[in-house]
Amino acid sequence: MLNPADGGARRRGAEYVVERGVLDEYSLEEVARRRLHSNKPLVVDHLKDSLRCSVPRLKRSVLGCLPVLSWLPRYSIRDYALGDLISGISVGIMHLPQGMAYALLASVPPVFGLYTSFYPVLVYFLFGTSRHISIGTFAVISIMVGSVAERLGPDSNFLINGTNSTQEVNVTARDAYRVQVAATTTVVAGLFQVLLGLVRFGFVVTYLSEPLVRGYTTGAATHVVVSQLKYIFGVTTERFIGPFSLVYTIVDLVYRLPATNVGTLVVSLVSLVALIIVKELNSAYSQKLPLPIPIELIVIIVGTLISYYTHLHKLYGIDVVGAIPSGLNPPKTPDISIFTEVIGDAFAMAIVGYAINISLGKTFALKHGYKVDSNQELVALGLSNTVGGFFQCYCVTSSMSRSLIQESTGGKTQMAGVVSCVIVLITVLKLGPLFEQLPKAVLAAIVFVNLKGMFKQYLDIPALWRRNRVDLLVWLVTLLATLLLNLDLGLVASIAFALLTVIFRTQLPRYSLLGQVPRTGIYLDMDTYEEVRNIPGITIFRSSTTVYFANAELYLEALQEKTGFDIRKLLTQKKKMLAKQKRREKREKKRAEKEARNGVLKTAVERSEEIFSVEKTTDTWSERNGDWGRQNGGAPDTASALDTTATLASSYADTLSRDLSACSIGRGSLEIHSIILDLSTASFIDTVAIKMLRNIFLDFGEIDVDVYLAGCQACVVEQLERGDFFSHTITKGQLFATVHDAVLYCLRKQGAPTAHIYDCVLDMTSSTHL
């Protein structure tokens, strides 16, 4: 209900008045009619529903497993064909140089990079849900495959006796074994992805935050660059594996730099300059050029022609690609005997490949207004790797550079991927042998230039420094772990550290005392806002995160610090006072019995009834030093007995109040009569936290401070019920819908008159009726 602004007050927006009763949990459940647990579907019901079959359900299942059937029958040649054709040709031209170049990263012959650009793309066409991503070779995944292939198939395992009593590497046998290792690893990674997709485990990628992924890919890009330096300088380096292998490789490379092949270095530098200049022109004139200039393909063709006609390999010792067989290989079963040796690396490839794939897919889906199924993407990528592995392909994922080309050149569907496959197929069948004289330095230069986007990720450092330094720490630790511990261990360490940051942030939340914003029912942190005011006698405590086993003890310590009570010392002091009281009662009883025998005063029974109790003493303390004699006054038979009892009680109450005051830490702690715990930030609560809350209620109750809960979500209330939190001493009447409800209840319970409550608390536009 709108309420006009007051005469001289400045209007800051729409105003409203709410008139209702104070709502505790009992009242809220009655008003809102909370559903019972029995009304919720059971697991058996969910299982029956999942097994129920119907024609519409069968159709949805088939279309979900084969998404191509949902769009291919409605494919519009008029609207999509031309754009997909141009896009497919452009992407296919990019597949050729990138496939051969990234094959070097995977430590397999270049032709297998072309196979990897063919088979998996066709599989993804059938099972994928993204319309714009380009599946195929990718630098980061390729270097991960290469690390496994070189670890299991090092050069030292393939040495043979050469001329002049020297040992040479049997390159043919070595490459054949490395291809087998790469294919086997790919099959295992694909099986992981398929299984995770079938059990609806697509959300696993959420544990890979964006800073982690970007830091990891930046570190992997550094591994890629270092691995290609030997082709740039034309030197042969030793292969290192395990932690710090990158450092050892750089040291070995620097040691061998004097043996640089000048011809190879010249080819590399010329190729780099040409690639960088033309790519910058493509970026600068992207709006004017109908298609990007295919500089990678041009450099490969020109480099091959120059190498062939000038005999670079024979005259200058420049390393070339070598024999490229034409045609397609038949499928081959993977080597099951090495499954256990590659399972860890395969799982890392499966997770990283899926993370890159789904992030690109969701980016394009959001831009073009369609949905990508994360679980089906996991299955599609897994099938692409599994099927590709049987045809000697290595692990694939989507490529950002090719996907951007596919989208920017007018690609609308995965038909563009089919067109690119045709380009690759023609090359494999007919044109492959023409690239036998291509210098490997040209392919290394292509890899270098295509990593430009990843090295731009170093600009994340200043950006994250300004935005979130915890994310920056995750980025830097991931980068260092990837560089120093290698790609597999680096990924594990990075995920562990990222999860630890979440745990540490829940263990070190911000604890605050809340005060009321004048003229509102809003309560904010008093350290942050200047105009909020404290409610006399009431402490409102809030944690910025949920309360659970890892921070329950810290929560209790922060509560005691903020409220000014050292609850343990207070309870210990009370126990001492109680023990002293019992001893005093015993002495008084003996004295009364003696006086009764002498017939001086009252009987022993009457005497013992007049002795003060610890409860009376505590009441006197909580009521802030009220008149003990008046509270415990009676009608003794003699004035001397009354005076003696009152004097002792008053002295004892003063001692107790003074001792309790000495135990408290903080100003005004003894003036607090109510504590409100704001649990609106809690999303769950475990048994440890429930036990801690129960102890808070009981312990503070021992020193006559009432405790209340406010703002609990329904799921938290259910967990409190299941944890047997509520009892005859702690009821739902101590749980309120909002902090404001709890404040009003506390004031009314302390006997504040209605006018005083409205003056002190309800002097605001949004008011609540008691």
- Residues 2-12: pLDDT tens digits? 444 444 444 45
Burial class (CB in 10 A: 0-12, 13-18, 19+), 681: middle
CA nearest to 427, candidates 110, 752, 727, 41: 110
Residue-averaged pLDDT of the chain? 82
C-alpha separations of 578 from 6, 224, 679, 697 in Å: 57, 74, 34, 21
Could you count the other beta carbons within 10 Å of the beta carbon of residue 476? 15
Give the alpha-carbon dihedral of 328, 330, 335, 341, to 10 degrees.
30
Q: How much is the pLDDT for 694? A: 93
Q: How much is the pLDDT for 408? A: 83
Confidence of residue 709 (pLDDT cuts 50, 70, 90): very high
- Residues 748-763: pLDDT tens digits? 888 765 555 555 555 4
DSSP conformational letter for 398: E
- Residues 61-88: pLDDT tens digits? 888 888 999 899 999 998 899 989 999 9
Q: What percent of the chain has pLDDT over 90?
A: 43
Q: How much is the pLDDT for 41? A: 60
The 3-state secondary structure of 472-529 reads HHHHHHHHHHHHHHHHHHHHHHHHHHHHHHHHHHHHCCCEEEEEECCCCCCEEECCCC
Residue at token pair 């005469």: 7
C-alpha separations of 209 from 123, 353, 488, 495 in Å: 28, 14, 17, 9
User: How far, in Å, CA of 669 to CA of 675, rounded?
Assistant: 11
Q: Which amino acid is at 756?
A: H
Largest CA distance in the chain: 135
Sheet containing 706-710: give its strands across: 523-525, 511-516, 538-543, 674-678, 706-710, 735-736
| Helix (H) / strand (E) containing 135 | strand 135-136
Indicate if the pLDDT at residue 391 is higher than 70.
yes
Q: For the stretch 292-317, what's the b/e string if a residue is b when 16 or more beta carbons lie within 10 angstroms of its beta carbon? A: bebbbbebbbebbebbbeeebbeebe
For residues 315-342, average pLDDT:
89
- Residues 658-695: pLDDT tens digits? 554 444 444 344 478 899 999 999 999 999 999 999 99
Contact 125, 413 (CB under 8 A): no
Indicate if the pLDDT at residue 634 is higher than 60.
no
Q: Which amino acid is at 440?
A: K
For residues 466-478, average pLDDT:
94
User: How far, in Å, CA of 558 to CA of 667, rounded?
Assistant: 16
Reported in sequence order, the residue ranges of 607-705 that DSSP labels E, i.e. its strands, are 674-678
* Non-local CB neighbours of 250 within 8 Å, separated by 6+ positions: 226
Q: How much is the pLDDT for 769? A: 43
